[in-house]
């Protein structure tokens, strides 16, 4: 029997590196011209290890492309009003082009209240109602970095999207919901037929098996098995989980929402964890910061 064609492993690190290189060149030119340097800020509340890691990666990536980056750290018992004051300060500081408030926030703080207070022109996460609304309407907006990064990956690998059946697993505000909207937009490299699946979806496996492009953002380690995937499907894995692994020096290994070793045998393209979607999320955040600095979304 002829060997089945191997899946292409989507190299998010490589695509992100190219994007960051282009951003770095643009930032260098600004510095050479004595223009202001783009500045990304992050707010980190408490000491959730995953959030610490994410914010540290964002800060490092900003430095790599020559941007200014600053992290505002607060203890987990900061009050909601105090955090609103921080947001007001960041909105008013003209040196800061864009900022993110790392989620999740402690339970006593209403996340919506905080997000709604962010100036949409500095909302490089694309989480404010204004940016989400504009995105839904297909108008220029800051796009949530993970779905934006996935759209860029599909484009980079020339994966046909128009007319295809895209199945998105998970309806979070950060990934699943915006992903479903971007894929269905009447635009180049979009125009898909989209099904958004969630915890109440019936016949889930039947739906996933009909996907030409399957995007797993469900938050369950190795949830997507080979028998849930159509032969030749494109599989994008948004999940990131630590699984205990005594054979690793760290004591754990990273896995996604997809059982990679099984699904790689069936897919035509598959994004790995780590090294797939994650690096793109950070690259798109930097891209949004550059757009904020140049006032290209909010002139």
Catalytically active residues, by annotation: 58, 102, 125
Q: Which stretch binds ligand GUN (CB under 6 A): 101-109, 185-193, 232-240, 245-253?
A: 101-109
Is 15 near ligand GUN (CB under 6 A)?
Answer: no
Give the whole-angstrom CA distance, residue 176 versus residue 259: 19
- Which single residue brings its beta carbon nearest to ligand GUN? 103
> How does 117-150 read in b/e, with b if 16+ C-beta sit within 10 Å?
bbbbbbbbbbbbebbbebbeeeeebbbbbbbbbb
Which residues ranging from 143 to 162 are in contact with ligand GUN (CB under 6 A)?
A: 145
Nearest of 264, 295, 32 to residue 140 by alpha carbon: 295
By CB under 6 A, residue 228 contacts ligand GUN: no
CA distance 283 to 146: 9
Please report whether residue 181 would count as binding ligand GUN according to CB under 6 A.
Answer: no
- Told to check if 101 binds ligand GUN by CB under 6 A, we report yes
Closer residue to ligand GUN in complex, CB, 128/222: 128
How many residues bind ligand GUN, per CB under 6 A?
7
Q: Is residue 257 within the footprint of ligand GUN (CB under 6 A)?
A: no
Nearer to ligand GUN, 123 or 212 (CB): 123
**In which region does residue 103 sit, left (phi positive, over 0), alpha (psi from -120 to 50) or beta (all else)?**
beta
Per rule CB under 6 A, is residue 16 in the interface with ligand GUN?
Answer: no
In whole angstroms, the minimum distance from the beta carbon of 281 to ligand GUN comes to 6
Closest to ligand GUN by CB, 67 vs 211, is 67
Q: Which stretch binds ligand GUN (CB under 6 A): 95-103, 189-197, 211-219, 234-242?
A: 95-103
- Which residue in the block uniquely carries the two structure tokens 């008013």? 92
- Applying CB under 6 A, among 10, 78, 97, 102 the residue interacting with ligand GUN is 102
When the beta carbons of 222 and 281 are compared against ligand GUN, the nearer one is: 281
N-to-C CA span, the chain? 59
258 binding ligand GUN? (CB under 6 A): no
Of the residues 103, 207, 226, 264, which one makes contact with ligand GUN according to CB under 6 A:
103
Measured from the CB atom, the residue of 196 and 277 that comes closer to ligand GUN is 277
Q: Nearer Cβ to ligand GUN, position 38 or 98?
A: 98
**Cα angle, residue 42 at apex, residues 89 and 284 outer, rounded to 5°:** 125
**CB atoms closer than 10 angstroms to residue 161:** 21
Q: How far is CA 145 from CA 29, 253, 260, 289, in A?
A: 24, 24, 23, 11
Q: How far apart are CA 214 and CA 212, in angstroms?
A: 7
Q: How far is the CB of 297 from ligand GUN (least distance, A)?
A: 17
Q: Does 100 bind ligand GUN (CB under 6 A)?
A: yes
Please tell me what DSSP assigns to residue 123.
B
Give the other-Cβ count within 10 Å of 2's Cβ.
4
Write out the residues near ligand GUN by the rule CB under 6 A: 100-103, 125, 145, 174
């Amino acid at each position: 029997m002829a060997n089945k064609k191997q899946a292409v492993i989507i190299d998010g690190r490589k695509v992100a590196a190219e994007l960051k290189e282009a951003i770095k060149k643009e930032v260098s030119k600004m510095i050479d011209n004595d223009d202001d340097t783009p500045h990304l800020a992050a707010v980190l509340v408490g000491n959730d290890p995953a959030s610490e890691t994410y914010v540290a990666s964002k800060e490092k990536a900003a430095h790599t492309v020559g941007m200014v980056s600053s992290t505002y750290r607060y203890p987990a018992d900061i009050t909601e009003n105090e955090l609103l004051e921080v947001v007001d300060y960041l909105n008013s500081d003209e040196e800061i082009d864009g900022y993110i408030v790392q989620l999740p926030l402690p339970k006593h703080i209403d996340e919506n209240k905080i997000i709604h207070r962010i100036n949409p022109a500095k909302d490089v996460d694309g989480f404010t109602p204004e940016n989400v609304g504009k995105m839904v309407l297909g108008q220029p907006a800051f796009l949530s970095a993970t779905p934006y990064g996935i759209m860029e990956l599909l484009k980079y690998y020339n994966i046909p999207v128009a007319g295809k059946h895209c199945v998105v697993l998970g309806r979070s505000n950060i990934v699943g919901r915006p992903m479903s909207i971007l894929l269905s937009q009447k635009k180049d490299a979009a125009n898909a037929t989209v099904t958004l699946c969630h915890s109440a979806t019936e016949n889930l496996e039947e739906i996933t098996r009909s996907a030409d492009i399957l995007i797993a953002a469900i938050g369950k380690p190795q949830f997507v098995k080979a028998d849930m995937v159509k032969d030749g499907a494109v599989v994008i894995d948004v999940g990131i989980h630590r699984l205990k692994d005594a054979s690793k020096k760290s004591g754990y290994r990273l896995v996604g929402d997809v059982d990679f070793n099984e699904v790689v045998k069936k897919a035509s393209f598959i994004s790995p964890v780590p090294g797939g979607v994650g690096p793109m999320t950070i690259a798109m955040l930097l891209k949004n910061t550059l757009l904020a600095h140049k006032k290209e979304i909010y002139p």
